[in-house]
Structure 1
Amino acid sequence: MMKTVLICVMLALGKLVLAQETTTITIEVENIANDKGQLILGMYTEDDFLKTKPYYSQQVKINDGKATVVFKDVPVGEYGISCFHDVNGNQKMDFEPSGMPAEDYGVSNNPMLYGPPRWDDAKFQLTKENNTISIRF
């Protein structure tokens, strides 16, 4: 009997540990120069920030210089967002010969950028209450 109770308790605790709290996040991007092309947005964890594929990504149309992206069932935690205006639709950020970006971009927290975005500037804590991020180009 005691063995059965212990097994039931362990299974219940295991489910609690595996159950992760999730939320919906809305990212509003504004001040986009024009409606040509699309907005490409990636949401990253610290380990993959601007290095590999984003944890979540989406491509959306731009309307009146604005775009909105919604991700559902996102585990609460620490993330950073990077996005760019893919004017020519080639699915990648273009650069000038000097190495400067040829397409507008932005990151979460809207830091003043003097070089590539850094994790410490872009990171934010996603909680159940913190579910809207605004990015301004």
Structure 2
Amino acid sequence: MRTTLFLFMTFISLMSYSQETSSIEVKIDNVSSDDGTVGYALYNKDNFMGMPLKVVNSKIKDGKTSVEFENVTPGTYAILCYHDKNGNGKMDFETNGMPKESYGSSNNIMAMGPPQWEDCKFELKGEPVSLMIRF
């Protein structure tokens, strides 16, 4: 009986420490062609524009693509994505630094220069989030 009670209390304690997770669905419906893939990257403030927390690549069909980031803990995040039209696994740039390939970010802010955390961030709470990003 004591063992059963101990195991039950241990289980309850562990459950209280488990992190609630949710998901983030991201869609793009204006990709210029079905060539290549679209790369999506999930960031938090600490790693923004650096090494992403998660990366997902998606094929394109009829100019549309979508992905889902699963098992994401609640917090503040940003998503950056780009159309890897030539399939080389990286974003290509002109000699003057301008992107050759289409790109987008959460909140669809298009400004001169690279995306800024404050412009791209969004809140993930307990419920799933669905985003539409425009290139």
Q: Above 0.5 in TM-score?
A: yes
TM-score for the superposition, normalised by structure 2: 0.87
Looking at structure 2, the residues matched to 65 and 113 of structure 1 have their Cα atoms a distance apart, in angstroms, of 23
The amino acid that maps onto 2:122 is: F
Alpha-carbon RMSD across the aligned residues, in angstroms, is 1.9
Looking at structure 2, the residues matched to 113 and 48 of structure 1 have their Cα atoms a distance apart, in angstroms, of 20
The amino acid that maps onto 2:73 is: P
Equivalent in the alignment of 2:68: 70
User: Structure 2 regions of 5+ residues with no counterpart?
Assistant: 1-7
Equivalent in the alignment of 1:61: 59
Check conservation: 2:43, 2:79, Cα contact below 8 A: yes
Stretch moving more, 63-72 or 87-96: 63-72
TM-score for the superposition, normalised by structure 1: 0.86
1:37-56 Cα offsets, whole Å, 9 max, x none, are: 0000001111111112x111
Equivalent in the alignment of 2:28: 29
1:3-41 Cα offsets, whole Å, 9 max, x none, are: xxxxx989855652x311101221011211110000000
Stretch moving more, 98-107 or 65-74: 65-74
Looking at structure 1, the residues matched to 122 and 14 of structure 2 have their Cα atoms a distance apart, in angstroms, of 28
Secondary structure in 2 aligned to 1:47? helix
Report the number of matched residues.
Answer: 129
| 1:19 equivalent in alignment to 2:14 | no
The amino acid that maps onto 2:45 is: E
Of all paired residues, the percent bearing the same amino acid is 43
Looking at structure 1, the residues matched to 22 and 32 of structure 2 have their Cα atoms a distance apart, in angstroms, of 31
Equivalent in the alignment of 1:4: none
1:71-107 Cα offsets, whole Å, 9 max, x none, are: 2211111100000000110000000001000100000
